[in-house]
Amino acid sequence: MDTSKAHVWLGVNFDEDYESYFELDYDTEDMDDPSYKVCGFCRDIGVKWYDEDWIEVCQEPDLVDLDTLLSDLSVSDDGIENIKARCVEKGIDKVNALFSYIDSSLKIDENKLYNKLVYMGMYNTNLAS
């Protein structure tokens, strides 16, 4: 897998079930089984399953400055600066939730919310390929 690019979403989501959006169904071994439950994240990105090793999910109990959530994100320094610039453009200065997913092959609808968060774009990671 190409680990050089990560998609990033951020914004405000105080839902108690924020993390349930990412929960994969391990009760059914066959993803084609009608009882298999596709998670909300998977539905939004158009897949039945995602690799949990390549996702970062964070939710704070209160609004925080961007730097608080972006500091541990696996995105290059240039990417972090680009995310901050996009936030300024969108009038976002305080957030409490963020997630990123490493899969450069995904085609993301930039005009919708994902778990109430705004898609910020795809950026270079700080991971070795």
Per-residue pLDDT of the chain (129 residues; tens, 9 = 90+): 678 899 999 999 999 999 999 999 998 878 888 888 999 999 999 999 999 999 999 999 999 999 999 998 999 999 999 999 999 999 999 999 999 999 989 999 999 999 999 999 999 998 854
Which strands, in side-by-side order, build the sheet including 5-11?
A: 55-65, 94-101, 5-11, 117-124, 113-114
Question: Would you state the structure tokens that stand for residue 60, as one six-digit string?
Answer: 């704070």
Q: Is 120:9 a contact under the CB 8 Å cutoff?
A: yes
pLDDT of residue 1: 67
Domain boundaries, the chain: 5-14+51-124
